[in-house]
Amino acid sequence: MATFQQFAQTCQALSQTQSRLQMAEVAGGFLAQLDLDQAEAAARFMIGRALPVGDEARLNLSGRAVWRVAAELTGAADRGEDIFAEAVDFGDAVEIVMRLRDTEPAPTLSIAEVAARMREIAAAQGRHARRRKLDLLRGLFIRATALEAKYLAKILIREMRHGMSEGVMLDAIAYATGAPIADVRRINMMQGDPGRVLRVLRGDAAAPQSGGLAMRPLKPMLAQPADTVADAFAMLGPELALEHKLDGARVQIHGAAGHIRIFSRRLNEITPSLPEIAELMAARIPNRSFIFDGEVVAVDRQGNPLAFQELMRRFRRIREVERLREQSPVRLFLFDVLGLDDELLIDREYRDRFAILQQTAHAAGLELAGRCLPANLNEGEQFYAAARAAGYEGVMAKRLDSRYSPGVRGRGWLKIKGARTLDLVIVAADWGYGRRHGWLSNYHLAARSGAADQFAEVGKTFKGLTDDQFREMTERLLALKTAQRGGTVYVRPAVVVEVAYSDIQRSPQYECGMALRFARIVRLREDKIPADADSIESIGREFERQILRTPPQPG
């Protein structure tokens, strides 16, 4: 029975390794030594997942709760600020505080015990659920060494910061099992969880085949960005479809004999939050098995779609759902079918899948996203222009012969959106990890607020720069350093960057109450000084316009 201390030591070794190959060998070698149940849990733990994909939300433990348990055990509840100033990250802070105990327990926790406690924490429901969850967590921390506590905390907040991405984990599983990496990736498309992938490859389960549909989410197929419809034609060729890109939340809907399960883009089950969608699908397609890919949008009383942030009032809410379904109604628009009547369809061409979808949706009275098959570039550009004028985010371009590749950001699908950019100032940055170890690479972005020398944060991003630019930016920001707390370096506002984003959403994380969604640095604005940056007031005006935007229904 492998100890959790051995797992923690392996994670420490991973944090000191930058080579992807070496990381896969270290992790894979460790997994290969474990029995099946422990290996399944360890594969998840290493990428910061306490439970199988889709179940993590049931833990319902915040970083604040984890810190409070650790600090109370050592009598250091009032020393948080000092400890976090010394720590590199959250897990490091937990390790520091746990070392304040008079004596450290022997490493007796096993990986299996930790996995069992995680399941118990997730299963705690009802009136005293929170107290029960905290008691179980406290029991783990009482027995944990400081190093074990560090990685318990990292797993619970899903921030391992050792560079072990899901892709590297798949390489590790291939190393541990001797399976070809192509087979590992294919099974991962179907299973959506590294622990289940490992279990399949070690012969304890069978991946879903074309003979049946499991009520378990597939990873959604992803799209590459494209700037224009002309780019889409150049990249995909002339045989493509264009669809309205809705400002909603992606959902995957599974049904079998009237039983419905709805999953989010992150594969968490959200059926209780969307009862009207479950009721709709059960009533319209009661006697068939299916998997549909679609988008749920918030709508007004007349059924017109509203902006994304209005939908967030509903997502993952399980209390007062009946009241919210009246106050914040939603509509479903389908755009793909992944399985029907016990047949998995992901290997069919998109043109065939859509024909099946269209026939099924028409017979059931279900709505589809607006779509066209442009005969030429001019027709495509006209469709895009009409979509933007109507208030849609843009369009999706899909090659007609593309297969559905779960979890893959391939070239079969492209997303084309209108450019939205802001000039913002970098006011802080976080030290990176994994491949970005040693670089300041997660940038805190701020807009002018009041006087020219005051700024309000509106988001963070680590996207948009090359490795060389990360290195140069690190040197530049260190020269502007004013303070450091944990892994965050605070800098004098001096660097202006142009930032693209998809939209603005409500956010209690920032004092201004707003945050940029999907921010990405487009370029450095060497021609501008901080006083030239966009203001928080202008962002607020755009936010208000966004809320008032009510495009007509697709079709």
Count each helix (H run) and each strand (E run) in the chain, helices first. 20, 19
Cα distance between residue 400 and residue 48, in whole Å: 37
Structure token digits, residue 232: 């889409």
Distance CA 235, CA 231 (A): 6
Q: What is the DSSP string of 226-258?
A: ESSHHHHHHHH-S-EEEEEE-SSEEEEEEEETT
Q: Cα separation of 3 and 13, whole Å?
A: 16
Closest CA to 236 of 416, 404, 402: 402
CA–CA distance, 504 with 523 (Å, rounded to integer):
20
Specify the residue for token string 């006011």: 427
Residue 224 near residue 389 (C-beta atoms within 8 A): no
Residue 493 — φ and ψ, nearest 5°? -60, 110
Instruction: Determine the Cα–Cα distance for residues 241 and 397; give it in Å rounded to an integer.
Output: 6
Catalytic residue among 133, 150, 154, 245: 245
CA distance 354 to 366: 14
Concerning whether 460 is annotated as a catalytic residue, the answer is no
Instruction: Go through the chain and tell me how many residues it has.
Output: 555
Burial class (CB in 10 A: 0-12, 13-18, 19+), 498: middle
Q: Are strands 409-417 and 222-226 parallel, antiparallel or unpaired?
A: parallel
Name the one residue in this structure whose structure tokens are 């390489």. Answer: 171
Query: In one letter, which amino acid is 34?
Result: L
How far CA 380 is from CA of 222, 239, 244, 245, 552, in Å, comes to 21, 11, 12, 14, 20
Among all residues, which ones are annotated catalytic? 245
